[in-house]
Amino acid sequence: MNNTKYESIIIGAAQGIGETLARRLARRGTLLIVDVNAGANDALAVSLRDEGHRVDARTLDITDTAGVAELVQEAGAPRYLALVAGIFAASPSLESSPSQFESIFAVNTIGIYDVARQFAAVMATSGGGAICAIGSIAARMPRMRQAAYSASKAAMRQALRVLAMEVIADGVRINFVAPGPTVTPMVRALAADHTGVDLAAGESEAFRPRIPDGRLAETDDIAAAMEFLLSDQSAHIVMHDLFVDGGESLGI
């Protein structure tokens, strides 16, 4: 049974990579944009509708399991689901408390996994679809002062890979895009935490390698990669973690 109401749904659409991706996916068909920031999300929806696109907006905190279930029931099975929501915090590992881990994992790991599993269940009975989640090169490349964030992204990646193995037979593909430093509000927070460090040039004391491409990513660099994985052009790609980092990870 086909239960498709929206061509695409973006979770975490109000700013940064999510907003840029919304402007791309809005050109492809009906779009639902979801974010915890109601004001910014609604303003984006108005902007996209003014451009002639068919866009609806919903407010959601993805740590609210009942709220996620309500969204899935209302929205049905999209063909494409983008999981962009996430939070960032940094502190020395010796000062990173269990409560900091819990708050970051609640969004980046448990919340993202819950959205993915609930939509994947509907997709599996509605003809399949594609899911793409924003990971991070920090999931495989340790970052100073980012124990909780790095661990949350690594755990999300592995949990969704297991989910991917279980739903691919039903036509549901799950992949990841792992950005390096990108010009977003989250990376501005990272830059503030690494005062005086040129993120593109690297810094030995912070164990940050240079970016061979010589620049930070723009949000469109990441959104373009996500759009590819959320398309039929990537029909035989499953459980892939696509690094978009200007070569910072050296292909590891």
pLDDT digits (tens, 9 = 90+) for 15-50: 999 999 999 999 999 999 999 999 999 999 999 999
Q: What is the mean pLDDT of residues 57-84?
A: 97
Q: Is residue 17 part of a domain?
A: yes
Q: What is the mean pLDDT of residues 167-192?
A: 85
Closest to 193 (Cα-Cα) out of 136, 146, 248: 146
Q: Is residue 249 part of a domain?
A: no
Res 178 pLDDT > 50: yes
Alpha-carbon Rg of the chain, whole angstroms? 18
Q: Return the pLDDT at 45.
A: 98
Residue 240: other Cβ atoms inside 10 A: 15
Number of residues that this document lists for the chain: 252
Give the helix ranges, DSSP H, for 27-97: 38-50, 65-75
The C-alpha atoms of residue 151 and residue 139 are separated, in whole angstroms, by 6
The percent of residues above 70 in pLDDT, for the chain, comes to: 90
Give the helix ranges, DSSP H, for 88-146: 98-105, 112-124
The C-alpha atoms of residue 171 and residue 185 are separated, in whole angstroms, by 35
Tens digit of pLDDT for each residue in 99-145? 999 999 999 999 999 999 999 999 999 999 999 999 999 999 988 99
Tell me the catalytic residues. Answer: 149
Q: Is residue 73 part of a domain?
A: yes
The C-alpha atoms of residue 10 and residue 21 are separated, in whole angstroms, by 8
Q: Return the pLDDT at 185.
A: 72
Q: Is residue 179 part of a domain?
A: yes
Q: Is residue 1 part of a domain?
A: no
Phi, psi of 242 (to 5 degrees): -90, 110
Could you list the residue range(s) of the whole structural domain that residue 91 is in?
Answer: 8-244
Q: Is residue 3 part of a domain?
A: no
CATH of the domain at 140: 3.40.50.720
Total domains, the chain: 1
Mean pLDDT of the chain: 92
Res 204 pLDDT > 50: no
